[in-house]
Structure 1
Amino acid sequence: MAFQSPPEVLFRQCLRSGRSLSQTAMAPSACSSRQIRGYRAAVINQLGQPMVIQTMPPPKPLKPSEVLISTHAAGINFADILQWKGQYQEKLEPPFVPGFEISGKVIEVGSEVKTHKVGDRVVAISPAGGAFAEMCVVSSEAVFPVPDNLRLVEAAGTITSYGTAMLGLTHNAKLRAGEKVLVTAAAGATGLAAVDIAKNLFNCEVIGVCGSIDKCQFLKRHGVDYTINYSTDRLRDSVKEITNGRGVNVAVDQVGGDTLLQCVKSLGFEGRALTVGYASGKIPDIPANLMLLKSASLVGVYWGSYSKANPPAFVGSIMKVLQAVAEGKIKPHVGKTFPLDQINEAFQYVSDRKSVGKTVIQLQEEYAPLGP
């Protein structure tokens, strides 16, 4: 078996604790183990200013339910950039080490941890941050085994983007096989994840929206049926032409502003629009009559909030993704990697919308020796 940790085990452990994942995750300063050396980390000392690579002191002993991970890679998410600017929903006061999404190998486990062992290849979510560092501690409830057919650098770009897309499409939009799906920012990490899931798990007809000819060509190579170029095409008019005026069943938008409004206008009868983010920096006013006339719905998708409000749905989205990866049905795409020393350049690269797929900070090679 490529993936051997059954979903019900992780569901039970999440529910039995009575706590959310974000409540149990530790801040980067608490990364701990006996006789572990100090480690390098990217530190935000002032919001909006370049991060500094600093050597952190040796961590403290682990608590019973914690896992210490030697970080191989850490995915960059738009939330990391917002947090660096001080604009994220959950604000941290400097100094702190940012980063929510990591992959690596287990160095040590707490006394009560039974689901992971030293040497395991894992991916983890650290709601308190700390991913952009050579090692980090995470609650065992937020640590998942990496399928054998997924490299650690790819794993670091999988959980957040694919988890968001999976939750939005299956839990919120109730996507059905063969429906028409519109995805904006489709060449980005979450957009490409939505394309992959809709196309390869649900056999949907997918319309991908992006901002350049090169990205349109990239999407075509990844199975998108139709592409719309922001810079040359009118979104709503293009959708009407592609669908013969019927509109789409589901729209996934991360841009906001007028783009979200055009997505809503492009829905067909009983269509469902998902608002996932506002990369444009603009939150539009959506006329309610647009929803009424088509018996349509507009649903917000804040994936991280499910860790507190609906842990089964949160963990379920991750397990569905990892299972689909293990079965070879979906394939995460890492477009570019940067070393830890170039984290500021990596953040700028993503901010400038140059990224295709996921951008990842790589700290170690796949087969680096395990050790402190």
Structure 2
Amino acid sequence: MKNEENSILEIDRWLKWLKMAAYVGIGIFAVILITYAIKFRAFYDGFKAISNLPNDWSAFGSLLSGASSLLGAVGTVGVMLLAINQFKIQQKQILEQSKKQAEFESKQLDKWAEEARILKFQSYLSHQKQFEDMLLEFEASSRFRVNKRILYKKIFPKNNSNYVSFKNEAGSNGVCFTFELNKEFAVLYNAAFHHDMKTYTPENLVVKLNLIVKNLNLFCIESAVIGDIKDIHKFNGNTGINIFNLYETMYNIESLINSISSFSESEIMTIPKTNEHIASYKLEEYYLKNTDAIYTTPTIKGLIELAKLQIEFKKHIHKGLSFDYDIFHNKSNMEYTFDQWDRIIARLNIEDEDEVKKIKELKISFVEAYNDNSYEHFLSLRRRR
């Protein structure tokens, strides 16, 4: 708007100059005529002084032509100068308009770039939120909690506020986390439930399972119960893996891996079907037979006898003997539990008397070993929890 006003003022100045030039030209024209009339006494005799000779009129016409030519020349030059100036003003306006247009387009591009960046950042946050919601579903039915941000970065190593991929990509080391995790767990699963102890011994089977737990950035939030395996790398650390329930731990981890694979559009792991309770007690049996010591937190006397009793029961009862791990810390409550176990043993539908006798002997062995625990020991276990 300001430039347009300046242009109008500039044109008005030129028009004033042209008007002045026109007045000057008219004045010169008038002076020439008056000078001619005075010099040649054109009006002394009135109308009689007007000549009838063509040569006189021809000379007068030449005078008029010359005088008017000067006036026309002044006007022509003025109009030409006005046109040139107007052209310059238009060129200046075009340049200014082009500059404004370039500035506008630059700002618009910056605005679009910023909007695109914000959209990518929102997409990144939304993707993270969906991932965390998926993990919350896992946590709702698990002993474990997940360090969600670290696990997200392992699965989507290249994702950031400017780039979002919905598929699992290889990191800087060239390794795809989900693919390697699936492969490692499948080998571990097959070793556990098909008893391939050439690949893993029962002891390092649990060690490997714990490594997978750590690789998934899982940590157990529940208080340690009898049978929970210690993390030997941490003081009083609890892996969350229980020797009485190894199958459930592996099944829990398998479900998490499959959820992650589905979310990251990776291949879902296919695990061979097994008979759950048979696989479970077989796994525990292999673990006990091939491990010199059971490192648990907290621990009690009679732990090995209890594990063996559970193995025998799981051959006939799907989940073995039911008991609350907390009652191990209360001897009086355990007396009631022992009576319940006796009633369950009496109702077992087992034709092989030797097998029934073995179960009864294991129960007695456990009770004797358990009763050797001191009251002070149970208090210390409770304090540790």
- Relative to the length of structure 1, the TM-score reads 0.23
Name the structure with the higher strand share: 1
Q: Which has the larger radius of gyration?
A: 2
Higher relative contact order (CA 8 A, sep 6+): 1
